[in-house]
Amino acid sequence: MNSNTVQLDNPATDVSAQRVLVLDFGSQFSQLIARRVRELNVYCEIVRHDIAPENILKHNPSGLILSGGPASVYEDGAPLADRGIFDLDIPILGICYGMQLVCDVLGGKVESDSSGEYGRAQCHHNGSDPLFNDFPKSTQVWMSHGDQVQKVSDDFVSLASTDTSPFAAVRHRTREVYGLQFHPEVTHTPEGKILLRNFLYDICGCEGTWELSGFAEQAIASIREQVGEHRVICGLSGGVDSSVVAALLYKAIGDRLSCILVNNGLLRNSEQQTVVEEFSTHFKTDLHVVDAEAKFLETLAGVTEPQEKRRRIGHAFIECFKAEAEKIHGAHFLAQGTLYPDVIESGAAIDGPAATIKLHHNVGGLPEELGFELIEPLRDLFKDEVRRLGLELGLPENLVWRHPFPGPGLAVRCLGEVTKQRLEVLRAADQIVLEEIHRADLYRKTSQVFAVLLPVQTVGVMGDARTYDDVIAIRCVETDDFMTADWSHLPHEVLATMSTRIINEVKGVNRVCYDISSKPPATIEWE
């Protein structure tokens, strides 16, 4: 399966009879566009930016969306679409780079903007087009571009503007070709879904018949067909992703599933015990636990660079996993809980020009010599969709709604060198953060909460004595899809309690900070 193609349903079924294609020009949000379309109950696939017009027609799409991207349309080697797509009589919506490409191809002029436009902007539209039906006359939108359409041909009209962009939205006079300079798909454009819905329903004529509900049955059937009579090994972490994968596999092949939990010494307090207990309760299958703390700490000794940490953790994980897997007779397949945010951030989308944000130990990290065929049934899903799937499979809510935990574990929250002593400090602080979030009944109201140990010390005073100790940062975000996120506005009394407890109870910490960065421009994890 093309890793850049959303396949949540059988294209032959009635539910996906209407579909929209997203042409991927390398945007970090290409899959987010597809997700927003699916939320509006329209089947969606992501395809290459240079897909041939005749191949587009084979999909029989109701509309095309041209994604954003990091390139400039006027640069040599910039990703371009086949000009023939504009002659297919299929509605087109270009977003950011996609809009610039539309305007450039059809006679406009795109130039570098000396200051660029990044972040929130106020958009004003003239209400003259169905695309803006029910859209506020003036509202906040999210901009993220260094280039700008400076001029459009006479074939285009401007539909909206911002203080710095006279062409925040445009439409071709005779074709159903639209462009938006801002990103309607991100949560930072609060009313963006209205525009997407208008494009899908009022312009493309979609009726909203697609549903996620059939995914489990189709995934189970696909697993059975792929696996045959072989045994499957699943890398288990205890998080919702690997648990849902295990649930799908268990329903598909029963006791021919073997799971491996690698305790890399980078887990939270009591993590291994919790995983084993939860797994034993919900699955009656083969579970292998590997204690590899010493190996991972030795591997990470002296390493401070984030990508190198991830690389070393990935290699050590493979070695441990492979050694344990060799003990399992008849295993031919390896299943992982890889999600699309992992894929898109790692730049692992096979057919797309997306930039690499960070390495993920479970994306492209298993070398061919491991000898397994890979199964990644959740590869094209977002976290909220996985949770819905987990509930449908009968997993308990406390497991389904557990906050994400990174594959490299606390190593990417222990900035600087990773040592046993520093991990103990981080674990103690992190446990306090989680305890107070639960005590304030905020766990389900937040998406991800954790502590970060910084590689700096600061001066403090404790018991009239000078201290020079570590700093803990608290990160708490709210998000639907983990591709964009806002920092949580936690009550001051909750933050105060966290800070007081950490400083009083965690030896070696004398300062606590709170991270108020959104994603983008920051990522959720610090490394």
- Can you spell out the DSSP letters for 137-192? SEEEEEEEEEEEEEE--TTEEEEEE-SS-TTSEEEESSS-EEEESS-TTSTTSTTH
**176, 203, 230 - which closes a domain:** 203
Secondary structure, 3-state, 366-397: CCHHHCCEEECCCCCCCHHHHHHHHHHCCCCH
User: What's the pLDDT band for 484 if we cut at 50, 70, 90?
Assistant: confident
Q: Does 306 lie in the same domain as 393?
A: yes
Non-local (6+) Cβ contacts of 134 within 8 A are 194, 198
User: What's the pLDDT band for 350 if we cut at 50, 70, 90?
Assistant: very low
What average pLDDT score do residues 328-341 get? 83
Whether 185 sits among the annotated catalytic residues: the reply is: yes
Q: Does 314 lie in the same domain as 388?
A: yes
Q: Does 192 lie in the same domain as 66?
A: yes
Q: What is the CATH number of the domain that holds 100?
A: 3.40.50.880
Q: Does 226 lie in the same domain as 197?
A: no
Q: Does 420 lie in the same domain as 395?
A: no
Q: Could you tell me the pTM of the whole model? A: 0.67
Q: What is the CATH number of the domain that holds 372?
A: 3.40.50.620
Identify whether 3 is part of a domain.
Answer: no
Q: Does 137 lie in the same domain as 72?
A: yes
**148, 170, 203 - which closes a domain:** 203
Alpha helices for 177-292 (secondary structure H): 192-197, 215-227, 240-253, 271-282
Q: What is the pLDDT of residue 356?
A: 45
Asked if residue 396 has a cis previous peptide bond (ω within 30° of 0), the answer is: no
Q: Does 485 lie in the same domain as 374?
A: no
Identify whether 408 is part of a domain.
Answer: no
Name the active-site residue from 49, 145, 183, 360.
183
Q: What is the pLDDT of residue 1?
A: 29
Name the active-site residue from 44, 96, 123, 414.
96
Q: How many CB atoms lie within 10 A of CB 517?
A: 15
What average pLDDT score do residues 485-512 get? 97
Mean pLDDT over each residue of the chain, to the nearest integer: 86
Q: What is the pLDDT of residue 426?
A: 98
Name the active-site residue from 185, 271, 345, 385.
185
pLDDT tens string 217-237: 888 998 999 999 999 999 888
Containing structural domain, residue 131: 14-203
3-state class (DSSP) for residue 243:
helix
Q: Which of 192-206, 255-269, 367-381, 400-414 has the least mean pLDDT?
A: 367-381
Identify whether 309 is part of a domain.
Answer: yes
Identify whether 454 is part of a domain.
Answer: yes
Number of domains in the chain: 3
Identify whether 394 is part of a domain.
Answer: yes
Identify whether 235 is part of a domain.
Answer: yes
- 123, two tokens: 């958009």
Identify whether 5 is part of a domain.
Answer: no
Higher pLDDT, 521 or 279: 521
User: What's the pLDDT band for 341 if we cut at 50, 70, 90?
Assistant: low
pLDDT tens string 232-286: 999 888 788 888 999 999 999 998 999 999 999 999 988 888 888 877 777 777 8
Q: What is the pLDDT of residue 340?
A: 62
Q: What is the pLDDT of residue 329?
A: 87
Token pair 């509605």 is at which residue?
91
**122-126, 212-216, 313-317, 494-498 — most confident range:** 494-498
User: What's the pLDDT band for 9 if we cut at 50, 70, 90?
Assistant: very low
Whether 54 sits among the annotated catalytic residues: the reply is: no
Q: Does 167 lie in the same domain as 22?
A: yes
Q: Does 297 lie in the same domain as 266?
A: yes
Phi and psi for 364 in degrees, rounded to 5?
70, 15
Q: Does 499 lie in the same domain as 442?
A: yes
CB-neighbour burial class of residue 134 (10 A; exposed 0-12, middle 13-18, buried 19+):
exposed
Identify whether 209 is part of a domain.
Answer: no
pLDDT score of 363 more than 50: no
User: Which DSSP letter does residue 237 get?
Assistant: -
**155, 176, 203 - which closes a domain:** 203
In 137-164, which positions are buried (b, 16+ CB within 10 angstroms) versus exposed (e)?
A: eebebbbbbebbbeebeebbebbbbbee
User: Which DSSP letter does residue 200 get?
Assistant: I
pLDDT score of 91 more than 60: yes
pLDDT tens string 460-470: 988 878 999 99
Q: Does 484 lie in the same domain as 464?
A: yes
Q: What is the pLDDT of residue 344?
A: 56
The torsion of the CA quartet 295, 297, 300, 303, rounded to 10 degrees, works out to -160
Whether 183 sits among the annotated catalytic residues: the reply is: yes
Q: Does 268 lie in the same domain as 387?
A: yes
Closest CA to 184 of 79, 66, 353: 66
Q: What is the pLDDT of residue 209?
A: 84
User: What's the pLDDT band for 195 if we cut at 50, 70, 90?
Assistant: very high
pLDDT score of 216 more than 80: yes
Pair type for strands 169-172 and 177-180: antiparallel
Reported as type and span, the H/E element at residue 404 is none
- 435, two tokens: 């305890």
Sign, Cα dihedral of 506, 507, 511, 517 = negative
Q: What is the pLDDT of residue 5?
A: 32
